Structure 1
Amino acid sequence: MSSALEPSPAYLPALIDKTSMDLYNGVLAALMALPASFSFPHPISGVRATDLFNLNSLIGAAIEDQVVEALNRSRSVWDPDHNWDECVFERRSQSFPDVRLVRRALAGEEVVLGIELKGWYTLSKERVPSFRYQVAPNACAPMDVLCVVPWYLDNAVSGEAKVLTPWIVQARYAAEWRDYWWTELRTSKDDEIRKGIDYPTNVKPYPSKSEMAHAVPRNDSGGNFGRLPRCRPLMDAFIQETLAEEVLGIALADWVSFIALHTDGADAEIITRELARKLAERQGATSDLKAERALALLKELVDVLGL
């Protein structure tokens, strides 16, 4: 039986003033509007279908830079009353959080809020975001959020990068849930001492690059601490809804299955039979026509790509 209390999201209105609360809600609205405001006009082409899984490492950072630019372009959403005219979003990839809304003055720089921004290439073989979130809860300020931005290419295997509705959660809550899952919910043979987590001393929000801000598990031989998709059910609904989105009429989950089969080196006939089986399972007996249409499109893609 769990001995620790299950974490719950912080109650922001008790911690910040109304002007700051309006800013916080406006930033969340701007992040949720990313599918409409995002622009990355640099078509991707010439990548082998079997190498698509590597795109997140190749252009993921560029996608995150574009998200920061989109936030600054949408100032009218998060600051309609011009209370924060002197503030701007900046990306600092080596710090936590890696996107900060900063105000500069003669007295120095003030960080107003932070966004830990993670890109998720939705055709990745893992089928889930692959980042590790290891920051200590006390390193998170009340208005800091963790934002995972799913993206894809509009022609599935080529074209312009497009983003889908992001997943946004308070940064401290995500850190607390991760730790609760690790120590209380995770199935493990470790004794209670080895399941523990050590935290840096005197950690505070917006640490510098040189300051230790990560929580450290006492035993993590598999390197799984901080993999939030495993801290169920934290991201379950978001992942399921994202992979159900369609590109060229085919669900993202089916695109992943399709490309994974080719990556595994099966011949075309085996691939076709496996696709038919997976589509039948996914679409159900009442959707035969839709499954047949999707399978026909995938077969055409096999011919086009020469796989």
Structure 2
Amino acid sequence: MPAGVAPARSNGPESDWPHRPLYDRVIDALHALPSRFHTALRIAGISATDLFTLNSALGAAIEASVVENLNILRELWDPNGKYDVYSFVRQAQVFPDVRLQTTAPGIPESDRILMGIELKGWFILSKEGEPSFRYKASPQVCAPQDLLVVFPWGLDEVISGAPRLMRPFVEEARFAAEHRNHYWSSMRGVEGEDAGIKLAEAVTPYPNKGQRFNDEAVKDGGKNFGRVARGGFMTEFVNGLLEQPVSGIPAKHWQGFLKIFAEGASGDDIERKLRTIRAQAEEAGLTATGMEAFDRIQEALRELISR
């Protein structure tokens, strides 16, 4: 892609690709997965100040559960059993980290991997207010049917309980990589070496573990290259999600609650800030039911203060 030219989505693989219906059904299954998600994980006894650490502590386990559940939903993406020898398999240190593949004998090498998903989890109450993961895969190693999928998640009792998924962000992996590079080199308002990118050595999809398949910034002292959310790539999705109610309260207010504890405020400061957040919620027109939930949650948080 020429320097300075904004990328465009391709709308996935060509319509005459033999597995195009599978691709479309997998996307449908990804959107259906939150309502049918099951996991044995359950979180309890976490202090308010430690809730922000859950994304790194539990992220891999959540992502593994997503892969397991996607295979359980086989009837959605393979209703006729055409792909019964294929399954989604999680990979380590390779792109994409989930591949729909088979090891069955007699399958041509070109059909052993049908598509890939670079899977990311995001704890909806993380203090950054946006996904902080890094996505560095080169556009060259992304097949047209590969996807970048981000599953926001929270706990069913907000500060404890079982993880539950929210609606996913699903994007073409190649477009996501091109957008990231375009942002770094052309949208940040920097020039020269500060805008430079070292392209990956691998140039074909589904690279091996030993190949260098990530693009890298020439200069990146803050290690921000790959943080696609910072480039505005997910802004509309994130803003919409933070307006979604969690136990009757928009998620953005929960973030405000938990930041209070993370900042190490004193008891009096916490009370003052909680009252401020409540007043903001009233001004925003939170329903009576929402305000009741708001007050119940504040009481729960006050209990956490005394732990």
Q: TM-score, normalised by structure 1?
A: 0.91
CA apart distance, 1:11: 3.8
Q: How does 1:273-292 map to 2 (within 5 A)?
A: 273-284=272-283, 286-287=285-286, 289=288, 292=291
Closer, same or farther: CA 253–214 of 1 in aligned 2, 3 Å:
same
CA apart distance, 1:143: 0.4
Q: How does 1:5-20 map to 2 (within 5 A)?
A: 5-14=5-14, 16-17=16-17, 19-20=18-19
1:214-266 C-alpha deviation (Å, 9 max, x unpaired)? 1111111111111011111x201111122222222122211121111012121
Query: Which residue identity is paired with 1:116?
Result: E
Match in the other structure for 1:257:
256
Match in the other structure for 2:39:
40
Question: Which runs of no fewer than 5 residues in structure 1 stay unpaired?
Answer: none
How many Å separate the matches in 2 of 1:175 and 1:274? Answer: 40
Closer, same or farther: CA 273–3 of 1 in aligned 2, 3 Å:
same
Closer, same or farther: CA 118–16 of 1 in aligned 2, 3 Å:
farther
Give the superposed CA RMSD. Answer: 2.1
Closer, same or farther: CA 287–111 of 1 in aligned 2, 3 Å:
closer
Residue correspondences, number: 302
Closer, same or farther: CA 226–273 of 1 in aligned 2, 3 Å:
same
Say yes or no: does 1:105 pair with 2:140: no
Match in the other structure for 2:216:
216
Aligned identity (percent) is 39
Closer, same or farther: CA 285–186 of 1 in aligned 2, 3 Å:
closer
Match in the other structure for 2:138:
136
Match in the other structure for 2:166:
164
| Larger displacement relative to structure 2 (275-284 or 153-162) | 275-284
1:54-106 C-alpha deviation (Å, 9 max, x unpaired)? 11121111111110011101111111232211111100132110000002233
Match in the other structure for 2:94:
95
Please give the secondary structure, in 2, of the residue aligned with 1:214: coil
Question: Which runs of no fewer than 5 residues in structure 2 stay unpaired?
Answer: none
CA contact (8 A) 1:280 1:288 kept: no
CA contact (8 A) 1:155 1:247 kept: no
Closer, same or farther: CA 83–286 of 1 in aligned 2, 3 Å:
closer
How many Å separate the matches in 1 of 2:137 and 2:147? Answer: 12
Match in the other structure for 2:124:
122
Match in the other structure for 1:153:
155
CA contact (8 A) 2:193 2:219 kept: no
How many Å separate the matches in 2 of 1:157 and 1:88? Answer: 34
CA apart distance, 1:14: 2.9
Q: TM-score, normalised by structure 2?
A: 0.91
CA contact (8 A) 1:123 1:252 kept: yes
Query: Which residue identity is paired with 2:276?
Result: R
| Larger displacement relative to structure 2 (250-259 or 137-146) | 250-259
Match in the other structure for 1:197:
197
How many Å separate the matches in 1 of 2:257 and 2:293? Answer: 11
Closer, same or farther: CA 295–71 of 1 in aligned 2, 3 Å:
closer
Match in the other structure for 2:231:
231
CA apart distance, 1:285: 5.8
How many Å separate the matches in 1 of 2:229 and 2:85? Answer: 37
